[in-house]
Amino acid sequence: MNKWWLGASLVLGLFGQAHAMTLTSKDMSEGNKFTSQLVFNGFGCQGENISPQLTWTEVPAGTKAFAVTVYDPDAPTGSGWWHWAVYNLPAAQTSLAQGAGSHANALPKGAIALKNDFGTTDFGGACPPEGHGVHRYEFTVWALPSALELPKDASPALLGFMLRAQALGSAKLTAVYNR
């Protein structure tokens, strides 16, 4: 059995309730529709594909690293759609500037971006199928007790599993988009 799987299995019951954090953005707000700035440029969508500014507060004691994920649970894939997945952000990092996810080198040193469902490690903006209705885009920041050690080719789904197993706290901001 892989070392990381054993670790994940052992941790599943160790962290009871996660601490309540807060996530805010100057570029979007809870329940409101994205502007074209946060929309993907491709797949029939015409946006600027810029990641939003994010700030998180009320960080739990013992936090040694953060992760940020962006997920669309309404995508018609059977498994949702991962727009962005970054982990091992340093504990001193409590915000990301607008555009930080638009170029891997804009992330803080040590942060690792996984390949999203668009096939890149950059932020991928909203782009639901035309006429498919409103989609939710869940931006979540996760506080972690240590940096994660994942396989080099880990998927965002594996990251999501590890985050849910180990998070000391998390905060979510959900915006919407349709076309």
Domain of 96, CATH number, reads 3.90.280.10
The per-residue pLDDT of the chain, averaged, comes to: 90
Structure tokens belonging to residue 132: 């498919």
In this prediction, residue 20 carries a pLDDT of 85
pTM of the full structure: 0.88
Q: Is 44 exposed, middle or buried (0-12, 13-18, 19+ CB in 10 A)?
A: exposed
Q: Angle at CA 38, nearest 5°, toward 46 and 122?
A: 95
Give the pLDDT of residue 98: 95
**Total domains in the fold of the chain:** 1
Per mean pLDDT, which range of 18-22, 79-83, 111-115, 151-155 is the poorest?
18-22
| Whether 175 contacts 71, CB under 8 Å | no
**What's the average model confidence in pLDDT over 118-129?**
96
DSSP-based three-state secondary structure for 47: coil
Q: How many residues does the chain have?
A: 179
Rounded to an integer, what distance in angstroms lies between the CA atom of residue 110 and that of residue 19? Answer: 24
CB 149 within 8 A of CB 4: yes
**Share in percent of the chain as helix, strand, coil (round to 5):** 15, 30, 55
Q: Quote the pLDDT of residue 60.
A: 97
DSSP annotation of 51 reads: P
The rounded distance, in Å, linking the Cα atoms of 120 and 92 is 26
Question: Which amino acid is present at 115?
Answer: K
Q: What is the extent of the structural domain holding 43?
A: 3-177
pLDDT at 174 over 60: yes
- Bridge partners of residue 54, in order along the sequence: 96
